[in-house]
A and B are shown apart, each in its own frame.
Chain A
Amino acid sequence: MKILVAVKRVIDYNVQIRVKEDGSGIVTENVKMSTNPPDDNAIEEAVKIKEAGKATEVIAITVGEEKSQETVRKALAVGADRGIHVKADGIIEPLAVSKILQKIVEKEKPDLVFMGKQAIDDDCNQTGQMLSALLDWPQATFASKINVEEGKLKVTREIDEGLETIEINTPAIVTCDLRLNEPRYASLPNIMKAKKKPIEQLIASDLGVDINPRVQQIKVEEPPQRKAGIKVASVAELVQKLKNEAKVI
């Protein structure tokens, strides 16, 4: 069984982002980048399935500018076997990413595609569902538990009401929640070994996919800042304020 894992390079989740003064976007120069957090869970799960003898190959793929290769390299360092980098500059919308992934799926014929449930930069939460629509494959989104069985998966999904379990036939798409597993760290020897693993580079425009944005970003603004309030000295004061000043209890 072959597992393809989509990883995106994003601003590190610990960075307090800044909006550009001209409102054209977010400042990315000299900002720490890393793998989109749930994509680390997606890689971890694929590698664990391989270690359990249920998969033969894990391929990491990213779509993005030259530097997004780092993200693939990191996936290789935690156990992916080889990588694919589809070079594309600028904002690539989930629809375009899913079309690119569709082309790669048609070529690589994986049994499973694992992805993150949401990219923490665009917060779109679309790409996995779109890919599964384009392929007419089953989808298991927001996965917090995956059981691999013969020709199918049993997946527990995190939904608003609690948890839901579904069974899907492979080939299938799974989008991963952060609670799926605990991603491992890359050890130094594995980081060295990863340098020798192959990364195939493709150019998005060569794939015959229209990746032009359909959505124009007119402006980006900071949210109105909340004023810090006051510190109260005691619980009694807190309750009085809530009752008499804020009038919320």
Chain B
Amino acid sequence: MSVLLIAEHNNKELKAFTLNAVTAASQIDGDVHALIIGNSCGDAAKAASELPLVKKVITVDAPHYENFIAENFAPVIIKLAESYSHIVCSANTFGKNLMPRVAAKLDTSQISDITKVESADTFVRPIYAGNAFATVKSSDPKKCVTIRPTSFEACASSGGSAPVENIDADEEFSLTKFVNREEIKSDRPELGTARVVVSGGRGMQNGDNFKLITAVADKLNAAIGASRAAVDAGYISNDHQVGQTGKVVVPDLYIAVGISGAIQHLAGMKESKVIVAINKDGEAPIFSVADYGLEADLFEALPQFLEELNKLNTIQK
């Protein structure tokens, strides 16, 4: 049977991680259908139809789908589920919020945050903050799976021309109302997909000092990350948090500054290709995963780092 991929989008564009989810879905079964639920989401549906791996696009368009309320989305998916063996979505806050609502109604035990598809019923997933990986086999007839986007490549985004089918909207779930969203807009690369991430921790001491991080990030065209301690202390907003209960990042280069390296933080970044740690405590656990460790005071090291980068005088891309 086929795989129903719940596409994440902002009503205009597909979110970048939808492309990674499509790849994972196609590894389960080649017949991938993308479902776009939204409000005036025709552009997003068109983008989905251009993904070569997608064989069919289904859209449901109504005002009450504007804000991705799971209580509104779930009934649409449950109704469609009959024709599918698998329902797949990325394991970010959108998918985490939505998929279990679908799985429970379908009486299926969801498999969260998979990093590998072994076969149509067997998957690998991290447990204990990535300190162990479990290979699990589902015996449910219908499978609900969320995928860790950074563990799969993005699929090609153009060249396809899947047919688009519109279906009728369901009733609105009236007990949940969207009020507002404070989205932090920035011109920087997104944390989840950036090639370089520069992160600050409690060692930054305050929010103002994060400008040292920002300067280096600007130079490297990097996203800015943070430890939970830095977010909790109010130095920076929650959308920057990396770790077990934050975001998982797998950049080519991760620079951890003033971060001790608690297992919950490592859970979000230790798959990075190259890790740099700048910390004044030579015993900090972050050094055990760092390819390059610099034992130094960050307030001296970061300005010097910027200076050296400027000296390189190459165009950073």
Residues of A that sit less than 8 Å from B by CB: 11, 13, 16-17, 19, 26, 38, 93-95, 98, 117-118, 120-134, 137-139, 141-142, 144, 154, 157-169, 172, 177-179, 213-223, 226, 228-232, 234-236, 238-239, 241-243, 246, 248-249
Residues B159-207 near A (CB distance < 8 A): 173, 175-184, 192, 196
**A/B pair count, beta carbons within 8 Å:** 256
Distance of B193 from chain A, by nearest CB (Å): 12
For B253, what are the chain A residues with a Cβ–Cβ distance below 8 Å? Answer: 242, 246, 248-249
Pairwise interchain contact B237-A162, C-beta atoms closer than 8 A: yes
Q: Is B1 an interface residue (CB 8 A)?
A: no
- Interface of chain A: mostly helix, strand, loop or mixed: mixed
Q: List 19 A-B contacts (CB under 8 A).
A: A11-B128, A17-B128, A17-B132, A120-B129, A128-B100, A129-B100, A139-B70, A142-B97, A154-B179, A159-B93, A163-B182, A172-B175, A213-B109, A215-B137, A216-B137, A217-B135, A220-B127, A238-B294, A249-B312
Closest Cβ neighbor of A161 among chain B residues = B183
Pairwise interchain contact A217-B136, C-beta atoms closer than 8 A: yes
Chain B interface size, under 10 / 10 to 19 / 20 to 34 / 35 or more: 35 or more
Contact of B132 among A95, A118, A159, A220 (CB under 8 A): A220
Pairwise interchain contact A242-B126, C-beta atoms closer than 8 A: no
For A234, what are the chain B residues with a Cβ–Cβ distance below 8 Å? Answer: 294
Pairwise interchain contact A229-B138, C-beta atoms closer than 8 A: no
A236 to B308, CA, bound (A): 6
Residues B289-307 near A (CB distance < 8 A): 289-296, 301, 304-305
With A126-B100, A238-B276, A239-B309 known as contacts, the answer to whether A221 contacts B133 (CB < 8 A) is yes
Closest Cβ neighbor of A164 among chain B residues = B181
For B182, what are the chain A residues with a Cβ–Cβ distance below 8 Å? Answer: 162-164
Pairwise interchain contact A126-B127, C-beta atoms closer than 8 A: no
For B132, what are the chain A residues with a Cβ–Cβ distance below 8 Å? Answer: 17, 19, 26, 220-223
Contact of B127 among A122, A134, A138, A232 (CB under 8 A): A122
